[in-house]
Amino acid sequence: VNAEEALTKAHKSNPEEALAALELSKIYAKKGMADNAAALLSKTLEKHPENHGVLLEYSKLLFAKGDSESSEKLLLKAKELAPGDPETVFLLSESLSENRKFREAQKELLLALKLNAPHTEKIYALLSDAFRMTGDTEKAEEYLEKAAQSGAGDDTIAAEHAKILYEKGEYKKAAASFEKLLEKNPESSELNGFLAKIYTNEGDYEKAEKYLLKLNRILPDDIKARYSLISVYLKLDKKFEAEKLYKELEEKDNTDARAIMGLCAMYTASRNFEKAEEYFKKLIKLNPAKPEFRYGLAKIYIHTKNTDAAAAELKNTLELDRENHEAFYELGKLYARLVKYEEAEKALKSAIELRPEKTRYRFSLALLLHEQVKYEEARKEYEECLKKEPENPEIHFHLGFMHHEQGNYKEAKKYFETAEKIDPDYHNKIEERKNR
């Protein structure tokens, strides 16, 4: 209290001086007045942008508040001013680790060891974590052992060891360790998050849901945790819960394309085409230049038999993306239904040109040519299809009928028999077609 009073007087008498402001901010921080400390340091930094002490103290406050990105920027500047300062290097490595820049963190942590920085046990633990995250589990175990020898707490060691087991794919052992640690710290977002990932990977979605619900309660603003829970809900066929979460995310941020896309997919799958159309239009409004959004809306119009709108959106898709073979294919089928044979043929040939390995594209073209009584061209396309899918009874069936229509009954019989041999159900299908 006396220190605060004295420092406040000193700061008021000379507000341009950095030292009093810096020391006063430390008092504020000790009293739990983090916002006051941050405001004072921010103001001081405007006047003294090169003050190493202010940069360091402000970076610590920001890191504690969860803003590790801003903390990293300040520490990079602080390191330029004092490249050999062990505390600066250690704090920078901590921020880099938090920001998942693990290779950069490794470099700074090894430098911190050379500079005899404090918190050796924490440096070793962070090095273990950084090597684990870059796939070097051998180095991770080596530094974890050093962390234990340097006096790192049993729980820290156990947590890091569990993470290494997780990276090795030893999920059952990792889960057992995390669950034991969770008994001591049930509100740990990290532990709940790891357990959720393990059980998701293992396909135990009920358990994954349990930990994700806890994680979402602990971190209500964590978007990644929200989407992980949605993914598990969909695996468990809990469509109502998934839809509710998607809508919450969209209401919170109506520019969240991922949430809107999720709703589009859900409504399309449940054949609620009216709702699907509504949300695809929202996506297009957000980004009219995205061909996949246009194509999604076109597919809805195809389902609802709104052929004019479907054709328009397929054309819009192709204006934005001339490589979209699926759009050419759908446009070809649409024109075929509208008896616009020339346009249909052109679109299907474009689809085949882009993806010659897609048998269904070529088969649709064969059917179209067959319908127009272009027998020779149709035969070539059917035979190309058979080269890729010789066991497809539908191709044999249609090729047989093309020969039947031309009076080549012997040839037709050969294809009919092959279709029946592959799938006996084709016998009735062939007889019905002959009678018709």
| 276-317 residue pLDDT tens | 999 999 999 999 999 999 999 999 999 999 999 999 999 999
Cβ 125 vs Cβ 155: under 8 Å: no
pLDDT score of 32 more than 90: no
Cβ 359 vs Cβ 390: under 8 Å: no
Confidence of residue 378 (pLDDT cuts 50, 70, 90): very high
Report yes or no on whether pTM surpasses 0.85: no
Can you tell me the mean pLDDT for 385-409?
A: 95
**DSSP category for residue 365:** H
Tokens matching residue 160: 């890091």
Neighbour-count burial for 139-170, b at 16+ CB within 10 Å, e otherwise: bbbebbebbbeeebeeebbbbbbbbbbbbeee
What is the predicted pLDDT for the residue at 10? 75
Can you tell me the mean pLDDT for 384-394?
A: 96
Can you tell me the mean pLDDT for 261-267?
A: 95
Cβ 352 vs Cβ 362: under 8 Å: yes
Q: Which of 45-49, 218-222, 230-234, 254-258 has the highest mean pLDDT?
A: 230-234
Backbone conformation region of residue 204, classed left if phi is above 0, alpha if psi is from -120 to 50, else beta: beta
Q: Indicate the CATH number for domain 288-347.
A: 1.25.40.10
Alpha helix segments (H runs only) across 82-119: 86-98, 102-114
Q: Using alpha carbons only, what angle is made at residue 358 by residues 352 and 362, rounded to the nearest 5 degrees?
A: 55
What is the predicted pLDDT for the residue at 188? 94
- The DSSP annotation for 138-182 comes to HHHHHHHHHHHHTT--HHHHHHHHHHHHHHTT-HHHHHHHHHHHH
pLDDT score of 14 more than 80: no
Pick the closest to residue 314 from 345, 300, 286 (CA basis): 300
Report how far residue 391's alpha carbon sits from residue 387's, in angstroms, rounded to the nearest whole number. 10
What is the predicted pLDDT for the residue at 380? 96
Report how far residue 189's alpha carbon sits from residue 167's, in angstroms, rounded to the nearest whole number. 18
What is the predicted pLDDT for the residue at 82? 94
Can you tell me the mean pLDDT for 22-43?
A: 86
Q: Give the whole-number percent of the chain exceeding pLDDT 70.
A: 100
Tokens matching residue 223: 């978007």
pLDDT score of 406 more than 90: yes
Can you tell me the mean pLDDT for 186-200?
A: 95
| 309-342 residue pLDDT tens | 999 999 999 999 999 999 999 999 999 999 999 9
What is the predicted pLDDT for the residue at 382? 96
pLDDT score of 15 more than 80: no
Q: Among all chains, which residue has been given the structure tokens 């406040």?
A: 8
pLDDT score of 422 more than 80: yes
SS3 200: helix
What is the predicted pLDDT for the residue at 410? 94
What is the predicted pLDDT for the residue at 433? 82
Can you tell me the mean pLDDT for 43-62?
A: 91
Dmax of the chain from CA atoms? 110
Kindly report the average pLDDT of the chain as a whole number. 92
Pick the closest to residue 43 from 17, 64, 66 (CA basis): 17
Cβ 181 vs Cβ 159: under 8 Å: yes
pLDDT score of 373 more than 90: yes
Can you tell me the mean pLDDT for 6-34?
A: 81
Can you tell me the mean pLDDT for 360-367?
A: 97
Pick the closest to residue 331 from 306, 357, 313, 356 (CA basis): 313
What is the predicted pLDDT for the residue at 156? 82
Q: Which of 60-64, 142-146, 381-385 has the highest mean pLDDT?
A: 381-385
Task: Give 146's Cβ-side CA count (13 Å radius).
Answer: 18
**Long-range contacts of the stretch 205-214 (C-beta < 8 A, 24+):** 205/232, 205/235, 205/236, 206/236, 208/232, 209/233, 209/236, 214/186
What is the predicted pLDDT for the residue at 383? 95
Can you tell me the mean pLDDT for 339-355?
A: 97
SS3 220: coil
